[in-house]
Structure 1
Amino acid sequence: MFSQNGLSLDQAPPISVVFRFFFSGSLFGILAGILILFFQTAVFDASSIQAVILTHTLTLGVMLSFMFAALFQMLPVIAGVKLTSPVQKANWVQYPFIFGVSTLLLAFHTGKPLLFLTASALLGGTILGISFIMLKNLLALPNHSSSSRGMSAALVALVILTILALYLTSTLSGLTEGVHYSGFKTAHYSFGLFGWIALLIISISFQVIEMFYVTPPYPKSFSHYLPPVLLGLLVIGMIFSSLSIDTWSIITVIIAFMLAAYAILTLKRLTQRKRPIADATVWFWRTGLGVLIVSMLLRIVDTLTPLPQSIAALSYITFAGFALSIVFAMFYKIVPFLTWFHLNSQGYFTAPMMHEVIHPKTAMKHLYIHLATLVTYILALFISPLIYLAGGLTILSFGWMLWQIVHAWKLYKHTQETGEKFEMNMDTVSSEQ
């Protein structure tokens, strides 16, 4: 089966495994938009319970759902990791995960200890369980690429992030006194944004930027050392933060410079494409990398000289814009390709071409919606009523994505039911020979 540039598609999981995580992530995205309509500008105050609920809706419900989809697909394809029984593993992860996220959001809203304990059991069990399985398979590889090493580091960060989260929820439920609550909360936040979301995106980009857009490869020293150095800095910050209050400030500034450098280098790579036509996914990448630079510069300034709340909130909005932009870029590459690939590998010569699954103009329309959403959130920092428009655009953005998943799945099933396969009459072949 197809294999090039380090890719191995013969072990790709069933298409339903990837689609189901995309589907649930889109539903949580729609929920995020609804919550914004209710919470309004309170979400811009990082210390408010509204901001905490929205943050976990986006980071857990949306981002982790999409990243589970990416890992189930990319580990076999990019790293050559064979995940046995992928459908069963997806079932084992997804349903407790969805219930766990929903329970956690209710726990934050009500403050009930039982809900925190239930959410901890569900999320801790599923996230740690699948992370250890994936890590075990990754570490068993005889040869590692920059992407596989980076994904290993990202999964280690996810494990640490989850353990820190379990300590925080145990404190909120009253099981522990929470002596280290403040320090672990900062570490949890840092591992979540920098060690999991950013690091996983970076690791995958080492492979897909060159593959999808035909660019020169990243410098080997950069792609080889960036993930472990980034993870190492976070571990150092967690260990030594209790000794010095300035540790996290120093670590944050260093990481921010590293992520800004990564964004600049990747933007340069995108200007060196051998295929000069820029589709929507290229612009999603450019948008994400551009706002990442803005976010990191704001983070550096805010760390050195505290900024007003509205400006500090801008760094969170732009970081969310970075993460979601890259998710959307990957989505519009993965869904059409997987639909075509799985049907073609099953022998359907009537398999739809990728542009027939999701037309490039459809992806471009979502880009415009996404850009309008980002701009509206930024303006809402200064013109409060615009938060309603921002919430509505968020619902539209994820609803648009949800429909593309439904459309691709219906097209996939329709082709299976009515499509024609390649058939070879072996008796005829034998007589002709």
Structure 2
Amino acid sequence: MSRLPFLFIFTGIIGFAWYQAVSLAAFTGWLTGELRGPDGWFHVHLFILGWATMLAMGAVYQLIGVILQSRLYSERLGYVQYAIFTVGLAGLLYGFDQGVIAWIAGSAVLALVGIALFGWNIAVTLIRAARWNAITVSAACAVLYLALTGLSGLAMGLNFATGDWTGLAERLFGAHIWMGTVGWFGLLITGFSYKLLPMFYLAHDYPVKLQAVVLVLWNASVLVGALAFLLDASVWLLWFALLLLTAAIVVYNVHLLQIRRHRHKRNPGSGIRWSLLSSHMLALSAVAMLIYAALYPDRWLQADAVRLAGWLYLAGWVSFTILSYVSKIVPFLWWTSKYGKHAGKPGTPVMADLLKERPVGIGLASIAALHLLLAAGLLTGWETLTGAAGSVLSVCSVAYIVLIGRVFTR
């Protein structure tokens, strides 16, 4: 088994622990402060690139071969891409922390090159295999949106440094966030869930028509939303993008229930059960946000509303889903790599010995409850609650990720 996915996963775990440590040190104050500044950019990019994207890349490198039943185009290119992306990310974070534009600009180019190499490696792998379905098309679209997110981020940096393209920075900023959060993470998680959930539920003969519906609606939402930002269009065009996204999320949840209904394994593990609950909460949040936006079209794009929506989506669904999945993926990968050849021999541990279900369930339940408490603090504007919930959340999150990391010592 290739060691490439482990590099990304292990680095992502370090990024997650680092993010939680700096959030704890700041009493989560950065979240209630000005996000569009060096401190906010540092925390957001550490969370999105250092944790979620880093680990997602590792998952793609591992799962793409399983999905396609073929080899990655170039494992060597994967190692080169890891080095370039990691160095670029480290420099970008240093630039944000120190407020040095030259570091930000140069490192952003490196990070973008890393993203481009990742996109090329996955694209060639997909094209060579030519096995197109909802899973592979979702992955291809997700990688495309990741590349476009990087390009729009670089364009924003150039605009910031030169002062050219007056008025474009705000529009690029909206498209950058929309394509990265909704496009990259949304399509990657939904697409890979079509493979992971049936595998862990041992589900067979479930209907798959809704996968295509989700794919069309989700892509339509990404494109309409990005255009609405870039063209500085009416708020109602952006609301229409939100409507498409909400419809996609609701249909996606219906499909998850279809998979669950056709299961042959009653208990897939705490991580999988919590990932489903997270998706259901996302659907409720999306419907609530859609109604709020229709009733108060002049308020839903204000900083506080966007902050709350971003927290519910990125921390409450994207990050929480990744945390849920790694409780299954990491033990599986490590056991296969270390003990796969010795399966069935005396003294060889079973996969369940690497990570016990009870602490996983307790850890995810604690993180979920604290996510909701923090969201309540953001909703009410109660900074003490936000800070306290965020601090305890950081402690619990570090404890959970240490639990996951200890698998590599088994």
Same fold, judged at TM 0.5 (above): yes
Amino acid at match of 1:204: F
In the alignment, is the contact (CA less than 8 A) between 2:200 and 2:268 conserved in 1?
no
Equivalent of 2:352 in 351, 355, 371: 355
Deviation at residue 46 of structure 1 after TM alignment:
6.7
In the alignment, is the contact (CA less than 8 A) between 2:206 and 2:262 conserved in 1?
no
Aligned residue in 2 for 1:125: 113
**2:264 counterpart SS class:** coil
In the alignment, is the contact (CA less than 8 A) between 2:73 and 2:121 conserved in 1?
no
The superposition leaves residues 386-408 of structure 1 with CA deviations (integer Å, 9 ceiling, x where unpaired) of: 31442342243134323432x32
Report matched runs for 1:15-34 at 5 Å. Answer: 16-34=3-21
Amino acid at match of 1:100: G
Number of aligned residue pairs: 396
Aligned residue in 1 for 2:52: 63
Greater RCO between the two (CA within 8 Å, min separation 6)? 1
Equivalent of 2:286 in 290, 296, 301: 296
Query: For residues 281 and 271 of structure 1, do their structure 2 counterparts lie closer, same or farther at Cα, with a shift above 3 Å needed?
Result: farther
Amino acid at match of 1:75: I
TM-score by length of 2: 0.87
Report matched runs for 1:26-425 at 5 Å. Answer: 26-37=13-24, 38=26, 40-44=28-32, 47-49=35-37, 50-84=39-73, 86=75, 88-174=76-162, 176-177=164-165, 179-215=167-203, 219-239=207-227, 241-242=230-231, 244-246=233-235, 247-267=237-257, 269-277=259-267, 279-304=269-294, 305=296, 306-307=299-300, 310=304, 312-319=306-313, 320-347=315-342, 349=345, 350-381=347-378, 382=380, 383-386=382-385, 387-405=387-405, 407-411=406-410
Deviation at residue 243 of structure 1 after TM alignment:
6.8
In the alignment, is the contact (CA less than 8 A) between 1:376 and 1:389 conserved in 2?
yes
Query: For residues 232 and 167 of structure 1, do their structure 2 counterparts lie closer, same or farther at Cα, with a shift above 3 Å needed?
Result: same
The superposition leaves residues 112-138 of structure 1 with CA deviations (integer Å, 9 ceiling, x where unpaired) of: 220121221210110111111111211
Distance 1:309 1:243 in 2: 17
- Identical aligned pairs, as a percentage? 16
Deviates more, 1:325-334 or 1:255-264: 255-264
Distance 1:137 1:36 in 2: 38
Query: For residues 302 and 31 of structure 1, do their structure 2 counterparts lie closer, same or farther at Cα, with a shift above 3 Å needed?
Result: farther
Distance 2:393 2:82 in 1: 27
**2:186 counterpart SS class:** helix
**2:322 counterpart SS class:** helix
The superposition leaves residues 119-163 of structure 1 with CA deviations (integer Å, 9 ceiling, x where unpaired) of: 212101101111111112112223323211211111111111111
Query: For residues 309 and 127 of structure 1, do their structure 2 counterparts lie closer, same or farther at Cα, with a shift above 3 Å needed?
Result: closer
Query: For residues 17 and 369 of structure 1, do their structure 2 counterparts lie closer, same or farther at Cα, with a shift above 3 Å needed?
Result: farther
Distance 1:337 1:59 in 2: 25
The superposition leaves residues 239-266 of structure 1 with CA deviations (integer Å, 9 ceiling, x where unpaired) of: 4641733433322221122123312432
**1:244 counterpart SS class:** coil
Query: For residues 261 and 362 of structure 1, do their structure 2 counterparts lie closer, same or farther at Cα, with a shift above 3 Å needed?
Result: same
Deviates more, 1:139-148 or 1:161-170: 139-148
Query: For residues 96 and 295 of structure 1, do their structure 2 counterparts lie closer, same or farther at Cα, with a shift above 3 Å needed?
Result: farther
Amino acid at match of 1:400: Y
Distance 1:358 1:41 in 2: 34
Deviates more, 1:209-218 or 1:21-30: 209-218
Distance 2:161 2:352 in 1: 50
In the alignment, is the contact (CA less than 8 A) between 1:29 and 1:394 conserved in 2?
no
What is the RMSD of the two structures over their aligned residues, measured on CA atoms? 2.7
In the alignment, is the contact (CA less than 8 A) between 1:107 and 1:115 conserved in 2?
yes
In the alignment, is the contact (CA less than 8 A) between 2:9 and 2:59 conserved in 1?
no
Deviates more, 1:117-126 or 1:242-251: 242-251
Deviation at residue 54 of structure 1 after TM alignment:
2.4
The superposition leaves residues 179-217 of structure 1 with CA deviations (integer Å, 9 ceiling, x where unpaired) of: 422222111111111111011000001111112113356
In the alignment, is the contact (CA less than 8 A) between 1:17 and 1:90 conserved in 2?
yes
Query: For residues 379 and 248 of structure 1, do their structure 2 counterparts lie closer, same or farther at Cα, with a shift above 3 Å needed?
Result: closer
The superposition leaves residues 71-101 of structure 1 with CA deviations (integer Å, 9 ceiling, x where unpaired) of: 0111101122412553x34432333323322
Query: For residues 149 and 302 of structure 1, do their structure 2 counterparts lie closer, same or farther at Cα, with a shift above 3 Å needed?
Result: same
Distance 1:115 1:237 in 2: 31
The superposition leaves residues 228-287 of structure 1 with CA deviations (integer Å, 9 ceiling, x where unpaired) of: 542244234434641733433322221122123312432453355332235311332133
**1:346 counterpart SS class:** helix
**2:162 counterpart SS class:** coil
Amino acid at match of 2:208: K
**1:173 counterpart SS class:** helix
Aligned residue in 2 for 1:423: none
Runs of 5+ consecutive residues of structure 1 not aligned to the other structure: 1-12, 412-433
TM-score by length of 1: 0.82
Query: For residues 309 and 133 of structure 1, do their structure 2 counterparts lie closer, same or farther at Cα, with a shift above 3 Å needed?
Result: closer
Amino acid at match of 1:168: M
Distance 1:217 1:151 in 2: 23
Distance 2:120 2:383 in 1: 44
In the alignment, is the contact (CA less than 8 A) between 1:33 and 1:392 conserved in 2?
no
Query: For residues 340 and 208 of structure 1, do their structure 2 counterparts lie closer, same or farther at Cα, with a shift above 3 Å needed?
Result: same
Query: For residues 45 and 166 of structure 1, do their structure 2 counterparts lie closer, same or farther at Cα, with a shift above 3 Å needed?
Result: same
**1:140 counterpart SS class:** helix
Distance 1:238 1:311 in 2: 19
